[in-house]
Structure 1
């Protein structure tokens, strides 16, 4: 009886080894030629802003929003942004934003990243609906896949368009 169990156990172990970790460590082909591990790194608001700021030299990071200090209480909530940063733009006059808080979109803008493009589009539509009747709260909003770039209305349309152009390569 002992002789029957040993060979059977050896066959089972050999079968399990064939399905083991070596199969799980194979790279996944996502259909994109030349893709690499760096290309599959999830986009964050921080990394999206760095790409934008490389093209818009007047943009400077002013803060990273956390769940504890998010004034909108949306970070990480279902259907809401998964990361957010705020930025200032040196072309905006200090007198125009006097009385606003650091991190307000009026001072430059914000980058919000979502789990899927539909959530980003929904957030942009919501912001536009809320601000439509309140010009003081108006802003430029550009959706690029999972990224929403919010830009201060104190910038001219041409200045704001530079953010749109810079963000075109994000999605």
Structure 2
């Protein structure tokens, strides 16, 4: 058994306080026991950027009601964003059989309302910025509301006509993206 003197204890206390303060101010989030079982996320990005088509392929394996309907190109992009700085590098659209045809009468074939869209970006911050932009627009126009899920550099946009439970299937599927 060790005994400490009050002088030794008072000398150690500031060091412990400083270490505690430095640890609390760190930028990295604290790891949980669940994190120990997950593979490193950085290694999943080392193989190259994810494309929208690849992301859709992964998601549609889990959400069987989704069907690929189109690939957005520079020539057919209604938003004129494909390949522009900070915007998506690839995009696909899909329909979902949970969305009733009567709900989307007159909607363009690639409209998010028909099912959704997957947009891939060069960075996670670009994907998040796009999601924030879309949410801000939807605040002023409820007709533009949709479900948006960002996973890494991918934004999954899902039709407002899906129920929250149906849309949650896409959120769960998006978790498979890495």
| 1:104 aligned onto 2:111 | yes
Query: How far is the alpha carbon of 1:135 from its aligned partner?
Result: 1.3
Query: How far is the alpha carbon of 1:42 from its aligned partner?
Result: 2.8
TM-score (norm 2): 0.74
Question: Highest CA radius of gyration, 1 or 2?
Answer: 1
| 1:88 aligned onto 2:88 | no
Query: How far is the alpha carbon of 1:41 from its aligned partner?
Result: 4.1
Root-mean-square deviation over aligned CA pairs: 1.6
Contact 2:59/2:176, CA 8 A, preserved across alignment: no
Match of 1:69 among 76, 82, 88: 76
Structure 2 partner of 1:54: 61
Structure 2 partner of 1:140: 147
* Distance across 2 between alignment mates of 1:159 and 1:118: 27
How many residues end up aligned between the 2 structures?
137
Query: How far is the alpha carbon of 1:169 from its aligned partner?
Result: 1.9
Structure 2 partner of 1:9: none
What runs of 5+ residues in structure 1 fail to find an aligned partner? Answer: 1-31
Match of 1:40 among 43, 47, 53: 47
SS at match of 2:177: coil
What runs of 5+ residues in structure 2 fail to find an aligned partner? Answer: 1-39
Moved over 2 A (4+): none
* Distance across 1 between alignment mates of 2:62 and 2:82: 27
SS at match of 1:121: helix
Contact 2:49/2:122, CA 8 A, preserved across alignment: no
Higher helix share: 2
TM-score (norm 1): 0.77
